[in-house]
Each structure stands twice: as C-alpha cells, then as structure tokens.
Amino acid sequence: MSASIQMAEGHAKAPALRVSREGLRTLLTWRRDVRRFRTEPLEPGLLDSLLDFAALAPSVGLSQPWRFVHVRSPEKRALVRKNFAATNADALGGYDGERAALYSRLKLSGLDDAPVQLAVFVDSDPEQGAGLGRRTMPEALFYSVIIAIHTLWLAARIEGVGLGWVSILDPVLLGADLEVPPAWRLVAYLCIGYPAEESDTPELERSGWERRADTPAIVR
Amino acid sequence: MSASIQMAEGHAKAPALRVSREGLRTLLTWRRDVRRFRTEPLEPGLLDSLLDFAALAPSVGLSQPWRFVHVRSPEKRALVRKNFAATNADALGGYDGERAALYSRLKLSGLDDAPVQLAVFVDSDPEQGAGLGRRTMPEALFYSVIIAIHTLWLAARIEGVGLGWVSILDPVLLGADLEVPPAWRLVAYLCIGYPAEESDTPELERSGWERRADTPAIVR
C-alpha cells in the first residue's frame, strides 16, 4: 500500500492514478497474443511478480479460485505437446484447402520455445468465498480466473514479456497428465517469454485470418 | 494509431509504454466492484469511449463475440429488478443466520441507482473468426467477452466511473426479457455510474465476508 494513501472517515482515499486514458489505450493496443518466443529465461523474480499482479484480479465472492501449475519438467512438457499435436490435428481436419494451409502456418503454439509455461485451472468448488454469487451463475468462478489471466497478461506487457494463450488442447487429458485434483478444470495454457518480435496488429490479422472491428456490437 | 509509431521491416514498432508497473498496480488496486452509485448520468460520449476500449480486448480467432445491450427503458429495468429480486431470494434461502443477514446487508445490486446498465452477452455462434480455437474449447468465446468487460472496467476506473457486476440473475429469463437472438448467452449485467464512495478494500472484505489473499495458489 502506497504511503500516499490517506484515510478519511474510515475509508481509504484513492491516490492519483498514474495511468492516463492514452496510457491504457497504448497498453491494450500493444498487448499481443505472442506465438514466437526467444528461449532465454525470464529475469529472476519476474514470474513471481506477474503472479502477484494476477492475484489483484476481482473474483466472485472474493473466492480467488485461480490455480496456476508451473509446467517445468521435460516429461510434462512432452505430454502437453503430444496433447496439442493430437488436438490440433483434429482441429485441422475441420478446415480444408486454403484455410487448412493458413491454419498450419499460423503456428498456434509457442510450446516449443516459451521458457515459462503455466497451466491455469479453476477450482470449481473453492472453500473461500462461501458460494456467494455463484449459485445461479456457477460459471462466474471461471470468469474470475479469466480476469486473473488478463491481469497477468497486461503486467507481462509492461515488463516486455509476451504471453500466448493456447486453447487447442484436450482439457480433461491435460488435467490428468498434470495430476491435478478432480475439482479443477482447465481454463488456459499459457506460454510466457520474451517475444521474438513486436507488432500492434493481431497475428491473425497480419496472416489474413480475420480483421479486428473497431467498435463492439451495441444494441438499443 | 499514434503518429509516433514507426514502421520497420514490415512490422510496427511499439511506442514507449506510458504505463509503469506501479501505475498498473495502482489502477488494479483501485478497480472496485461498485454497488452504490450516484444517479447523475455519465458525461456525454463517455459510454461510447468505454465501449471503444472494450473492443480492444483479445478474442479467440479474432471473433469479437461480445454483444452489449443498453438497458434504458423503465419497463426493461423493471423486468431486470424483478429477475434479480426472485433470484436473490432463492440465493438467500441457501444461507442462514448471520450469513443470511450479512448477505442482505451487502446490497449486491446497484440496479436502483446506476444511470447506465448494460446486459452483456456472448454470441455463441459468431460468423467472425471462422471457428478457430473453439472447437475443443468452445468456452473460449465466453472468455473473450469476460476480457472485454474487464477492459471496459479498467477504462471506467481511469475516468472515475464505477462498475458493478451483477451475477445474481436468471440468465435465460433475462435473455427472453430483453428479446435477444437465441444464440446469445448472458455473461454479465453491468451497473455503471459515478461511485458514491471510493475504497481500495473490496466491499466484501470491509463487510466481513471474505479476505483477499495476496498471492495466487501456484503448484509445483
């Protein structure tokens, strides 16, 4: 807690935010889903710092249901790669011709190069939070984990660290391979490391897959 | 795109980020789930600006599946309040004694005061994105919408605008009441406005519901 924070009438007063509208826009614009990494390790302590940021995310009922598994051993990484290869082959089978070739070229995985790899799970039945807000929308637990990942992503960008979100995996198989408790469900597999290059254009857009729209669909 | 961005070797180079590690930490620490709002409207144009920020969120396959419904009419708002009251009563039935009383006191809804209210849906079958990355994890579409909401939340905080995420609603009934297409699924109902007060301590923690842990669970 910053020393500049004042207490008044029992409530902490917010310090001046040191983030401008344009600052946030730049950060968001340059947050990229990185697929090509340099193999050198992160600076010592940096991963812990990024995880501290993740813990600042909001969570339903303050349940903090995120569970990060650091996948380090060559044996576990080989299982993840095998999972990806099988699942990717299935996904590829759903496209044909030009789309299939493009799909292959996209190099959807940084699994071979990223020095840090995290499997992120949601504890689907956490003790913390006492169930508040998730009786009618149990998926709110998942949402909390997603926001923790996004928070980690933004913090990583500030440190010049890239993050690639791999969703082409069999989640049940991955949980079994990593021997996590049965109540944990896979949310994401994250490849983290220094990026090989930077761009403000999504990789999928540069490669011709899809174009980003500027404004969201708003109705009424 | 800022004029300061240089092109080199076919790739845009990132401008200097104007967000520091401490700046981001302050923003995240002071992002709050607001439940008590002042009733005055947002400054003109501000809602559009916040939605522009939301559109900077990443999305699986660049599908941008978020759909925002601006709930403005008294008739629609009455339906939402009715939905909340019924669902909240059900939720309350699951707690007893001190927990139940606390739950009531938490005032989980800004529905009566927030000048802007958005129902946020995911289009579960968007044309944009061609299905990439969501064959094995279709929930990735939901994740994209969550991150768009979080992005809007951070942008709102910079403008001094609070956001309260209401998850105690019957999602199917809300979709029917708002007459959205059948492929849309409710992700969140957002109350937006200027907050009645500020604090860096989660409202649930101040009211004794649960305490925030500093670091996430990391395994191995």
Q: Which of B19, B212, B219 sits opposite A62 (nearest CB)?
A: B212
- The DSSP annotation for chain A comes to --TTPPEETTEEPPPPPS--HHHHHHHHHH--B---B--SPPPTTHHHHHHHHHTTS--GGG---EEEEE--SHHHHHHHHHHHHHHHHHHHTT--THHHHHHHHT----TTT-SEEEEEEEESS-STTTTTT-SS-TTHHHHHHHHHHHHHHHHHHHTT-EEEEE--S-HHHHHHHTT--TTEEEEEEEEEE-BS---SS-HHHHTTS----SS-EEE-
Taking the CA of residue A77 and the nearest CA in chain B, the distance in Å comes to 13
Please answer yes or no on whether A70 and B159 come within 8 Å at the CB atom: no
Percent of residues, chain B, with pLDDT higher than 90:
37
Structure tokens at B97: 């004694």
Instruction: Please give the CATH architecture assigned to the domain spanning B37-206.
Output: 3-Layer(aba) Sandwich (3.40)
Confidence of residue B206 (pLDDT cuts 50, 70, 90): low
Provide the pLDDT for residue A136: 54
Helix (H, G, I), strand (E, B) or coil at B116: strand
pTM: predicted TM-score of the whole model, two decimal places:
0.79
Say if the ipTM goes beyond 0.90: no
Please answer yes or no on whether A99 and B130 come within 8 Å at the CB atom: yes
For A43, A45, A198, B51, the CA distances from A194, given in Å and listed in that order, are 10, 15, 10, 31
Please answer yes or no on whether B14 and A200 come within 8 Å at the CB atom: yes
Question: Mean pLDDT over residues A48-60, rounded?
Answer: 88
Provide the pLDDT for residue B216: 55
Answer whether A210 touches B (CB < 8 Å). yes
Please answer yes or no on whether B21 and A213 come within 8 Å at the CB atom: no
Q: Which CATH homologous superfamily contains domain A32-206?
A: NADH Oxidase (3.40.109.10)
Pick the closest to residue A135 from B91, B100, B187 (CA basis): B91
Please answer yes or no on whether B216 and A56 come within 8 Å at the CB atom: no
Provide the pLDDT for residue A44: 95
**Torsion (CA) B178, B58, A29, A31 in degrees, nearest 10:** 140
Is the pLDDT at B217 greater than 60? The verdict is: no
Taking the CA of residue B42 and the nearest CA in chain A, the distance in Å comes to 16
CA B212 to chain centre: 20
pLDDT digits (tens, 9 = 90+) for B143-171: 889 999 999 999 999 999 999 888 788 99
pLDDT digits (tens, 9 = 90+) for A171-216: 999 999 999 999 999 999 999 999 887 655 555 555 554 556 655 5
